[in-house]
Structures are given as C-alpha cells and as structure tokens.
Amino acid sequence: MSGQPVPCSVAELSTLFLFEKLDADQLDRLCREGRVEQFEPGPVYTEGEPADCFFVLLAGTVVLSRRVGNDDVEISRSSSRGVYSGAMQAYLGDRVRPVYNSSMRVTEPSRFFVLPAETFAAIMQDWFPMAVHLLEGLFFGSKNTQQAIGQRERLLALGSLSAGLTHELNNPAAAAVRATSSLRERVAKMRHKLGIIAGGPFTREDLAGLIEIQERTAERVAKAPVLSPLEAADREDALSDWFDDHGITNGWRLAPTFVQAGLDLDWLDQVAAAVGEEILSGAVGWLNYTVETELLMSEIEDSTTRISHLVDAAKQYSQLDRAPYQVCDVHELLDSTLLMLSAKIGPRITVVKDYDRTLPRIPAYPGELNQVWTNLIDNAVSAMNSTDGDGTLTVRTALDRDRLLVEFRDTGPGVPAEIRGRIFDPFFTTKPVGEGTGLGLDISWRIVVNKHHGHLEVQSVPGDTRFQVRLPLTAAESDPPEEPS
C-alpha cells in the first residue's frame, strides 16, 4: 500500500529519538534519499511481502501483528513518535529472504518517514559498519541453531535476535567507544604532563623513581579491592585531607579515582617520601593520569569481553544445553552487567548494591544469567524512565532457605494487577513499537525455571516493584558436571 507523499522536514526528523544524534549532513541525506508519506486507516504492509521499506512513525497510530496458525495476533500498538518497523534486516542483503516478518496497519491518518530498503542498507553500511558486521555475525551464527527446534522457538529466536540484540549490544559497544575517547584524552594530557615534567626541576634520579612508582601504581590498580560505598567515602575523605595537607590543589577531584584504584594513605606517604615535597604535586598529577588510563583500559577490556559473551549467548540461544556450565559468583555477574548497562541506566537513576558477600558460589550458566539480569535491569530502568526518569534501582542478594535470592527493586510506577499474570507471556509488552519485543521476561523465565530449576516472580505496588530470582545452591542430578577451566 502506498501513501500520499508530503514534504520532508529535516527539523522534524531531528526531534525523533532514532535520529537525534545525527549531524546536519546525515539528516539532509535522510530527507534527500527518503520520503514522507501520509497513510489513511488500513494496512501499510503485510507479513510475508517483500520488505522494500523501513518505516518511522511521525504522527498517528500503528498496530503490528503476526500470523500464528490461522489467526492474526496483535503484538503491539503505539502512537509514540519515532517508533519504527519494516525492513530492519535490509543490511543483510540477498543472503536473507527480504520479507516483512509482521503486518502493520494504521488506525487513523498517519504520517511516516520512509526509507527504501536499499537506501537503509547503504546508510547502515556507511554510518555503522562495526554494528553491521556484529549483527551479521549474530544473525548467521544463530541461524544453524534454529533449524533443530519447533516453529514457536524459531519465531522467538528470530524475533529476539533481530529486534532485541541491537539494543543489548549497543550498551557495551557504546561503553567501549566512550572509554576509548576518554583514554585518548587522558593519553594526550599525559604527554603534556610529561613535557612539563621534562622541563621541570626533576633530576635523572627523580624521573627514574617516578617511573618505578608509576609501574607499581599500575600493578596496584589491577589488584584494587572492592569497597562498600561507606568505605569508599571514608577513604575519599582521608585522601582529600592528605592532598590538602601536602598543598595539592583540587585533591577532592583526584581522591575518588585514587580510591577506585586501591591507593591509600600509606601508598601516598611512600610516594611523598620517594619523590620529595618540591615535586610531589607534579608527581601526583602524573600518577593520576596513569591510574585513569589503567581504569579506562580495564573498562574497554570488560566492554569488549561483554560483547563477545553476548555474541556467544546469541549463538547458543536456542540450544541452551550447549552453554558453558560452571560454578560462579553471582555478584561478579551482576557487577559486570551493571557496568555494561551503565550508559542505559544513566546519571538520574541511583544504583544500590545490597549484596550478601558470604553467599556461596553456585553451579549455573553464567552467560544465560547475565541475559536475565540484563532483561530485568532494562525493564526496571524503562519503568523509571516512563515517569520523570529519576529513581533508585536496588540489586539485593540474600540466602532464602535453600535458595540464593537475587532481587531487582525499582521505584517506578509498578506493574498493574490486571496484567501482572501476563508479563511472562511471549510477545506481551507494554513498550512502544520498536522498543521491545515482549520476549525479555519470557526468555528470562525459561532460563531461570527451565534451565536452572529456580523460580522467577514479581511483587509490585506503585513505587516498589521487585523481580525476585531464586536459584538452587547445588546442581540437580540432571545438570552437567562442572567444565574444567
């Protein structure tokens, strides 16, 4: 079905969440190579037809449905500007049959920005080549696993991979890009500081001692202990006072970084004794860049490792019995997932870790549990962002009789009682079109219950929603043995 063409506005496109980060030249290209069309109530495209366009809603209401047996099942409905659908896999080219995997209709006069599939594929290749390569690998790597399962499982896997993994992969990829940018800035400042040091009152012995301290500082960063928020705050106060006492300006800015790196008062006293008071300020500034550089490299390593784990989880998605099975510490899994989702969580949401560190390690599939944590955290953040964006996410672990409890508590609006019994159903979602597949909680439930013989439930009132995962402390007889490391 074709719509009535209307003028394309660059200013209007720039207000959509999908395009808000694009520059003026990119927006001009979209308007030049795409088009805006007005559709009257009725079908826009039908499942199974050649997918020749990518649609972004500008105004109106869209309904997406899929054919299940002899019925058309509505999977989502939205009037949110910027939701998208259509030829989202055009970047794969002729290697995948280019057809629409759902049907879309509009219930009122609706306006869309429309990109031909070939143009959408070219833009993806030009602007996001790394993402395209990752998505291609994910798609074709998972294709073989889908051949041995039933139609329903194939639909779940394809839906999750095509619409969900783009979002999940963006978090660690964005973290790596952001950390790389910060690392470049720190290295540039380190070069500048090196020039100052070279021209300063440093003897050859001073420089040799400073380099030795730098090496030992880098080693300490790699072995930094995990501190509670209270311990970290106390150490930051102590370090700030030390900096003030030694005439180092802006010491309060340096203290959090030094504490994160595991550097304490004893270490600073050793530095002061080694370099002398007259060059202490410059030495501390140099060491600060060293610490920041080490921390950023660790973040990049964690981010790229997380991408690798997500790719592996996608390949094993439909055949979970092939996933790595080992005894693991759930706190390490939670911390890594929270780190990878830090950009998604944002600065307006406070994360509280209420961990019982005395809990034992448990036999589990860590890659699959990370996927559960990702889905539950993402849902909590989305719920809090649906209001004013402020809120608190509390991640708690505890021993609950013979089970290990992991609880995700958010201060969002809550899950209405009338839909609480449906939230674990496949394809059920309250998110706008293009922002969710309705598969996250269904997948999480299958991983926890079917794979780990645990329990997943929700308790919710406005301002206090808790998703609780309970996992057995020991392996069931049917579980595989621990794989050698």
pLDDT in tens, 129-147: 887 777 777 666 655 443 3
Closest residue by Cα to residue 110 from 65, 43, 177: 43
Say if residue 327's pLDDT is above 80. Answer: yes
Q: What is the pLDDT of residue 225?
A: 74
Average pLDDT on 427-451 reads: 64
Element (H, E) at 215: helix 204-222
Q: What is the pLDDT of residue 386?
A: 77
> Which amino acid, residue 295?
L
Kindly tell me if the per-residue pLDDT of 259 is higher than 50: yes
Q: Check if the beta carbon of residue 65 is closer than 8 Å to that of residue 101.
A: no
- Taking residues 91-119, what's their average pLDDT? 86
pLDDT of residue 94 exceeding 50: yes
Asked if the model's pLDDT at residue 251 lies above 60, the reply is: yes
Residue percentage of the chain with pLDDT more than 90: 23
Task: Pick the more confident residue, 243 or 1.
Answer: 243
Q: What are phi and psi of 110, to 5 degrees?
A: -135, 145
Residue 340, both tokens: 């990878």
Q: Stretch 360-381: mean pLDDT, rounded? A: 86
pLDDT of 243: 83
For 452-480, b/e burial (b = at least 16 CB within 10 A) is: bebbbebebeeeebbbbbbbbeebeeebe
pLDDT at 262 over 60: yes
Mean pLDDT of 80-107: 84
Does residue 87 carry a pLDDT above 60?
yes
Confidence of residue 316 (pLDDT cuts 50, 70, 90): very low
Report which of 361, 303, 312 is spatially closest to residue 337, judged by C-alpha positions.
303
Across 197-207, average pLDDT: 65
pLDDT score for 229? 84
Per-residue pLDDT of 21-71, as tens digits, reads 899 999 999 999 999 999 999 999 998 888 889 999 999 999 998 764 445
The model's pTM: 0.39
* Local confidence band at 289 (pLDDT 50, 70, 90 cut-offs): confident
CATH number of 4-127: 2.60.120.10
Mean pLDDT across the stretch 178-198?
70
- pLDDT of residue 274 exceeding 50, the answer is yes
The mean per-residue pLDDT over the stretch 421-436 comes to: 54
Nearest to 455 by CA among 463, 465, 446: 446
**Could you state, in order of their start, the residue ranges of all structural domains in the chain?**
4-127, 130-322, 323-472
Lowest mean pLDDT among 84-93, 209-218, 225-234: 209-218
Confidence class for position 79, pLDDT limits 50, 70, 90 = very high
Q: Is the pLDDT of residue 107 over 90?
A: yes
Is pLDDT above 60 for 161?
Answer: no
Q: Which CATH class is domain 323-472?
A: alpha beta
pLDDT surpasses 90 at 306? no
Per-residue pLDDT, 140: 60
**Quick check: 432 pLDDT over 80?**
no
Phi-psi map region of 164: left, alpha, beta (phi>0 left; psi -120 to 50 alpha): alpha
Are 224 and 262 a contacting pair, CB within 8 Å? yes
Task: Check residue 148 and give its pLDDT.
Answer: 37
Contact of 179 with 296, CB cutoff 8 Å: yes
End-to-end CA distance of the chain: 56
The residue-averaged pLDDT of 154-177 equals 57
Instruction: Identify which of 42-56, 132-146, 225-239, 275-289 has the greatest average pLDDT.
Output: 42-56
Q: Which residues of 23-43 are buried (b: 16+ CB within 10 A; e: fewer)?
A: eeebbebbbeebbbbbbeeee
Distance CA 241, CA 446 (A): 52
Which of the residue ranges 341-350, 447-456, 463-472 has the most confident prediction, judged by mean pLDDT? 463-472
Average pLDDT over residues 93-103: 79
What proportion of the chain, given as a percentage, has pLDDT over 70?
Answer: 75
pLDDT at 147: 38
